[in-house]
Chains A and B, each alone.
Chain A
């Protein structure tokens, strides 16, 4: 293990440059700039709309960011499939609930990782929205 783990990734400068080109083509052909966090707002809005329509209707922010399936929503879904394709075709897909660096420091407990991830995600998204990123 450890040292024998696969690391046949691409050079980060090359992968980064290709990603830059992708962004340029996106702006050129469709006028779309990439982003992800608005999709989480819209999805949260969707969920509230389903479970608590009165509450949903009372929230101003969901009038600003109206829940809808748009370019960015599909972009975010696409990211998942892109990584799935890249990893399964290169033998780097691993079902893993606790990352190696976390495990070395905090142990193999899945629930500890889950709780911290959940809280971290909530804080990160709050901050991202505040910064409008």
Chain B
């Protein structure tokens, strides 16, 4: 039960911040895909940097466990490409369309219905995919520091530096 309350509370704050950051509208998402407005990239990269530092700190202190998904090149690459096509058509992603609906952009309803159908279609195809695409390039639960054999903070700092340089470039270009 407390799990559900935490879920609801986390969702409310998350949706609140996404709306305040103006990252959920069709125009913003399309702006990023058309490389004309980097608002959502700024938002996402900042979120990732802060969360990456925080979660690894918690891990090092023994306060949290990482949740690593398997790297399956077939699924990740083909799935990513397919997702991109859908995202470009819809202009919302699974989480942000809930947000868009919350601020009255009710075309998100069509996306939500489409996603339910898409999930159903995937479930139908899952047995076939499991024995094909989802076996191509299956590397299991790996991380970048692990592959390179270096301390994770080296990667984190590198990521932060690249992120900050990207931000500086965006601001210079007025994106």
Contact = CB atoms under 8 A, between A and B. Distances in A.
B104 interface: yes
Contact of A20 (B6, B20, B49, B58): B49
Interface string B73-105: 001111111111111111111110111111111
Nearest to A6: B22
A19 to B, nearest CB: 5
Given A81-B12, A87-B104, A28 B43 contact: no
B116 interface: yes
A60 B119 contact: no
Contacts of B81: 127
Nearest to B31: A101
Contacts of B76: 131-132
Contacts of B84: 127
Interface residues of B, number: 103
Interface secondary structure of A, over-half rule? helix
Nearest to A94: B104
Contacts of A12: 21-23, 39-40, 42-43, 46
Interface string A97-116: 11111100000001001111
Given A40-B115, A131-B75, A118 B110 contact: yes
Interface of B: 3-27, 30-31, 39-40, 42-51, 54-55, 58, 63-65, 67, 69-70, 72, 75-95, 97-108, 110-124, 126-127, 129, 133-134, 167
8 contacts: A27-B64, A28-B63, A44-B119, A71-B4, A83-B101, A83-B103, A84-B15, A130-B75
